[in-house]
Amino acid sequence: MIAETRTAGVEDARRDATPSFDVVFSETHGRVLGLCLHLTGNRADAEDAAQETYLAVTKTLAKFRGESRVSTWVYRIAIRSALRVKSRRPATEPLEVELASEPRDPAIDRERSRQIRRALSRLSFEHKTVLALFSLDGLSHREIAETLGIPEGTVWSRLHLARKKLAAELKALGYDMAT
Amino acid sequence: MNENACDGFEIAIEMRRHGAADAEASRRLDAHLQDCASCRSFDKLGAETEIRLRADAEEATGKVDLERVRARGRRVLRGHWTDYGAFFLLLSLAFATRVALRVTGIEQGDVGFGPALAILAFILPFVAMRRSQRELEEAWNSDVIFHFLRKHVDERLKGSVGLAVVGIAVSILFFIDRVAGGGAFPAGLARAVFVGSFGALGLFVLIVRVPRLLRERREIPVVPDPYDLPPSTSTLGL
């Protein structure tokens, strides 16, 4: 509900006029950071990518023509920024996501979370992107299709393929599927 | 079922998870899931990976919220620094008056403990405020910040009530002294300055500062003591 309200805020702003940077930032920053975290695999790169995203938004917001939702336009920029930040880093063993602290819910098993993050980091950027977008709270499949610039039907097959690849990587990492 | 035959159902699983499957597709999927262990496993794994990835993303978002909470803490501390500055100014003026009167010989007696008390009254709250600032900047999650803020406001409340009592008590003592010692100029004036300044300080603290601290305290969420968690649930293994 909160996410819907937030998105509605940005879209209302778009209909009325070009939204202010503050509105765009406050309503997309959480998701942009989450998206960049999944795409880059570590917090420092995620913050760099998010910073580049908003730098680009600052420069081009005035030219935004409203042909798509502001939010999906920002997510597209974030994906490109994350790709750029990733490409500047030397190819190494997939990084682990460095979290400020482990999830606080005791039911969440740290080892399983770590394996999932590791498996995700081994996927292609395209598959990682679709999984990352679907894991963002409150983003509809229409918005995801718009962000990726593909038909809605294709989103499901891409997600399916990405999920299969993730399952294969998890299996290779010795993830216990039965638990 | 073989893998290719299940592809359609696996896509249906994804669609249902994201609210895009209609009732008929959902019914067919349920019927299939009853017989297909592979799809049940795919469903379970998909749900689990998504929950955990979402938790990671929320953790990242949490950092933004943490900065907001920290900014709120800084605002509270800024207000207390202002109070501290005003208190120090008032105290300095009061003691400077007394020192000036005695040094110039207008009032009888030596400089006394005044300057030493003034320095002590400056140093103690300054050290406490610096410690609070450091704790705020080092806090690693919002619970720690809220816990710290509550502790800080509680300490300031105690200090303020103590200050009010001391201010009013000193004011009363100077009033008695003024009545006993006579009100002639200039000694009477010096005593009057003390009655007024300490009395004003006590009343200001009681009427303005204590209610503000109580209001601040009410606005701080009550959280469990993050330093007192059982080992199994402690986020940093404390």
pLDDT at B53 over 80: yes
pLDDT tens digits for range B94-109 = 777 777 777 777 666 6
Q: What percentage of chain A reaches a pLDDT higher than 70? A: 76
Buried b (16+ CB within 10 A) or exposed e, B63-92: beebeebeebbeebbeebeebbeebeebbe
In whole numbers, what is the pLDDT of chain B averaged over residues? Answer: 76
Q: Do B48 and A100 touch (CB under 8 A)?
A: no
Closest listed residue to residue B147, CA positions, set B77, B217, B75, B74: B217
pLDDT top residue among B63 and B137:
B137
Is pLDDT of A103 > 70? no
Whether A97 has a pLDDT exceeding 70, the answer reads no
Four-residue CA torsion sign, A102, A103, A105, A109: negative
Which chain A residues have a beta carbon less than 8 Å from that of B62? 100
Interface of B with A in 139-168 (CB under 8 A): 140-141
Q: What is the mean pLDDT of residues B139-153?
A: 76
Mutate to test the interface with A, among B3, B56, B235 (most CBs of A within 10 A): B56
**Contact between A134 and B50 using a beta-carbon 8 Å cutoff:** yes
The arithmetic mean of pLDDT across residues B219-238, rounded, is: 47
Predicted local distance difference test score (pLDDT) of residue B175: 79
- Highest mean predicted confidence (pLDDT) among A157-166, B4-13, B194-203: A157-166
CB B220 within 8 A of CB B160: no
Structure tokens at B112: 């006394």
User: CB within 8 A of B72, min separation 6: which ones?
Assistant: B149
**pLDDT higher than threshold 60 for residue B7:** yes
Q: What is the pLDDT of residue B232?
A: 33
Which residues in A lie closer than 8 A to residue B11 (C-beta atoms)? 156-157, 160
Higher pLDDT, B184 or B42: B42
Query: Cα–Cα distance between B76 and B153 in angstroms, integer?
Result: 9
Taking residues A115-131, report their average pLDDT: 89
Candidates B46, B66, B236; nearest CB to A163 = B46
33-72 in B: which are within 8 Å (CB) of A? 41-42, 45-46, 48-50, 52-64, 66
Q: Note the pLDDT tens digit of each residue in B77-86.
A: 888 888 778 7
- Checking if the pLDDT of B26 tops 70, the result is yes
B170: enclosing H helix or E strand? helix B142-181
CB count within 10 Å of CB B21 equals 18
Is pLDDT of A94 > 50? no
Least confident of A71-80, B105-114, B143-152: B105-114
Instruction: Give pLDDT, residue B143.
Output: 66
User: Model confidence at B238, in pLDDT bands (50, 70, 90)?
Assistant: very low
